[in-house]
Amino acid sequence: MQTFYHGSPFLFESFSLDSLSEGSGIKFGAGIYLTESYDTAVRYSAPRKMETVHHYVYTLEVPDKTELNCMPYPSPVQAGIVAKVEQMLQESVPDAAKLQGKLFRKYLAKRLTGTPKERLATEKQIDTKTTLEGELKASGLLLESGVLFIEWPQGSWSNYPDGLKNIAVLDPALIKIVKIEEVERVKKGSAYIAASRREVIPGV
């Protein structure tokens, strides 16, 4: 198992995709967004434009990453993942869609909601806005093909795959909550840190 963190203004006992909406929470795919950085989770414990009294950081465990269960957002898609998806689609995927995990995911989101293949032949055609319905269908197909996570860098994209990572977990059932802490969030320079931490248990 590998350890990740999630920040939220809400206290809950399990994760769900029910809160996803059009234009929110699908930039990197339909999933639960986690980070390897505790401080990043502290920052996201209060989303922009939302005033909140409570800040919670969840310490979590998810299955270990493998070559075929984790698709990189900014890099070419592994041949094994492409082969499994093409087998399930019963058609080939355009070369342009294989250049990045982002494009591959967007291709699936559009193709699975009825966009003709001939209108998805180039990077420019693929890299446009997707719908929540399409993203959910793309995540579902990726899960069926064995992909559990979509991964992108925490900091500079030019350093990928080195450094800390963020992931979108496509199936919330894969996430085990190890600990929940309420934190006092304070600003330090351009970042936020936890000045104090207190473990909490939902319902207690």
Mark whether 92 and 135 lie in a shared domain. yes
User: Do 142 and 81 fall within a single domain?
Assistant: yes
Residues 83-94: tens digit of each pLDDT = 999 999 999 999
Written as six digits, the tokens of 188 are: 């330090």
Q: Is 175 within a domain? A: yes
> Would the CA dihedral through 60, 61, 63, 67 be positive or negative?
positive
Q: Do residues 139 and 75 share a domain?
A: yes
Domain presence at residue 93: yes
Q: Are residues 51 and 101 in the same domain?
A: no
Domain extent at residue 79: 70-147
* Residue 154 included in any domain: no
Residue 57 belongs to some domain of the structure = yes
Contacts 24+ apart (CB under 8 A), 161-164: 161/72, 161/75, 164/35, 164/36, 164/37, 164/40
Bridge-based pairing of strands 70-72 and 56-62 is: unpaired
Residue 49 resides in a domain: yes
Clarify whether residues 35 and 104 are in a common domain. no
pLDDT digits (tens, 9 = 90+) for 143-187: 999 999 999 998 777 777 788 999 999 999 999 999 999 999 888
Same domain flag for 185 and 127: no
Task: Tell me the whole-structure pTM to 2 decimals.
Answer: 0.92
Q: Is residue 45 part of a domain?
A: yes
What is the count of structural domains for the chain? Answer: 2
19 in any annotated domain: yes
